[in-house]
Amino acid sequence: MRFSLLCFFTLFLCTCVRAQKLRWQVDASQSGVVWNLTKETRLPHEDNVEMSGRGASAIIHYAVDTNRMVTVKREMIYPQMRPFIKDGDPKWWATYRNYLRRDYTDAEVLPRIVSGGKEIPFGPVDSIGFSGHLVIHHAPGPEGLRLSRHLYPAPRQHAAYEMLELRNEGETPLAVSLEPQTTAEEHAGEAGKFRTVSGLASKPEMILQPGVPSYGYVFFKAGKAGREILSNVYEEAETAYGGRREMVRDLQEELVLETPESIYNTLFALSKVRGAESIFDSKLGLVHSPGGSRYYIGFWANDQAEYINPFFPYLGYELGNEAARNMWRVYQEAIPEDGSNIRYSFEMEGDAPANPLDRGDAAMIAYGLSHYLLAGGDEAIARELWPLLAWCLDYNDRKLNKDGVVTSQSDEMEGRIETGDANLSTSSLYYGALQTSISLAGELGKEDLARTWVKRRKNLARAIEKFFGARVEGLKTYRYYDGHENLRHWIALPLVVGLHDRKDATLIGLFDSLWTDNGVHVEKNHPDPKVSEIFWDRGTLYALRGAFIAGATGRAHERLLQFSRARLLGDRVPYVVEAFPEGNMAHLSAESGLYCRVFTEGLFGMLPTGFRSFSLQPRMPEGWYKMALRNVHAFGSDAGFDIEVNRIGNEFTVRVKDANGKVVQEGKMTAGERLEIKL
């Protein structure tokens, strides 16, 4: 019977996979994806992908027509440079998101390639690949000239580049010349004038030997007017290409996911890049920002504090950890002296006016910070930032209503959809924050406070069940606020923070009632039909993490595979997204951190318990016999450690190995049990 059920489940998954329309394939290294256009029949098609460095972000829009001819638009954003708004621009740009921007089309920047007095046109596209930078491979054109285009941002400059790789596939040398196009403009701004330029850095004449590549670079740069930004551009472009590849390679070598499913391994690998790259220089120091053409040189209590910052210790990414610490310190300095709510964002390096709305941000900060401090394993940092954590927890306690749940004006939806006076999200995050904060208080010798928080957590669990527990759309799950009658995506949060009394109905609500081809919708049966169409991937990612934590491994695996295939290999690739229709499915950075946490905290069940300790509760899908996380850098392990899980029958063997491959702890367990690990 068990074999029959397994076969049925495998057949069901395969049927779902075949039903999905996939364009892309995982590459051989499982660190990138490839779209083979020689076999593509569903044209035209267009998409875009964002890539960021510390001084610029490039959103590359590419469109392929029915003849496999590609056009590219490069949306360049220079966040640190602020132009004056122009007539007709929205007035709010004066203080919000008025970044210097310039779009570049192929027609105005690509050079003409000429041989024997005749222009050699670009051939149709054979394939497009992405493994940290975008590569467009053209079929050989006249004279046997093959062109590949590599698009990437500079790691540190206010610049991005397009490397043109020319390869002669004929049998005799080919003489070509590259005729450049250039642009140069000045922009008035707050700090004087800025300059944007584009052009070509290349030898004007080349003799292409058969099979030997030659290179030129199209550049896109910005800087203050009057400063020289065009010297040594060729060398800068080469250095930037090497720097981008090195950054991607370093990230791919840390926190490596190994499972039998290549889709997971690849989307996890790419998500590390997107989650880590969106870090910008600012007057606040390094700051992580969401991106997506709208959100730069600033941070938010949800995207950064709650979503991405707790992930950086596991990845061991020092720029990410530095950006996280900068953010925590800014928030600590901004603790309101009058006891009012803490601001929810610091946009435009903190220069944008603070929005007074209380979205439950103190709960978001406490939830992310307590996890970050434990996983970071640095007692000195924990003591430094303790005042922020303690204030946020006390604020939530002060905001309890007569029913014992936390009141807040809104949630992270910021009024896009009603949330009542007390919503499930804020109370759930406060409940989750108390768990890791209790462990942190114990590590810092604050036992009396830990005991107080244990009592608060027990009381809050009872209050959440009594106040939010309800039958909604026929399911014994949670209402989102008093009087709310529809299922909403954040019913996933109790599962994530360990409240599982209503898990069965909640999982039906998430993975059946609210599920679509794009994951969990915010609320399907809202009176406003426009609201019923909204989805935010963050809700889906919390639902998937919570399902694994709650032990619904088969159901979670089924939906995770479906969702991962769509995001990695479908029409909008290769990352998870923010929202639709708002933002048009932008590749916001912190959501990629949430994808990785589906595995670290969901599939592997990692939960910090101390500066050098954590617990594991692995959830291995049927048909898998091993999985691993390698080069984990949390809990003070600079050198990294591995977690290996092997299945024999109904029993798991878990081994934790140090950087030298030595087993430092081993244990056996059955599904659902937790194993305590001390490093």
Q: Which residues contact 360 (CB under 8 A, 6 or more apart)?
A: 406, 408, 410, 411, 412, 423, 425, 426, 429, 430
Question: How much is the CA Rg of the chain, to the nearest whole Å?
Answer: 26
Counting DSSP H helices and E strands in the chain, the numbers are 16, 35
- pTM here is 0.95
Please say if the pLDDT value at position 377 is more than 90.
yes
pLDDT digits (tens, 9 = 90+) for 296-320: 999 999 999 999 999 999 999 999 9
**Tokens describing residue 504:** 């069965």
Domains of the chain: 41-250 (2.70.98), 254-616 (1.50.10.10)
pLDDT digits (tens, 9 = 90+) for 449-482: 999 999 999 999 999 999 999 999 999 999 999 9
Please say if the pLDDT value at position 10 is more than 60.
no
Please say if the pLDDT value at position 133 is more than 70.
yes
| Mean residue pLDDT across the chain | 94
Mean pLDDT of the 12-40 span: 79
Q: What angle do CA 382, 388, 348 make, to 5 degrees?
A: 110
Please say if the pLDDT value at position 91 is more than 90.
no
Please say if the pLDDT value at position 9 is more than 60.
no
pLDDT given at position 226: 85
Picking from 312, 349, 338, 335, the residue whose alpha carbon sits closest to that of residue 389 is: 335
Strand order in the sheet with 112-115: 118-119, 112-115, 174-179, 205-208
The pLDDT > 70 percentage for the chain reads: 95
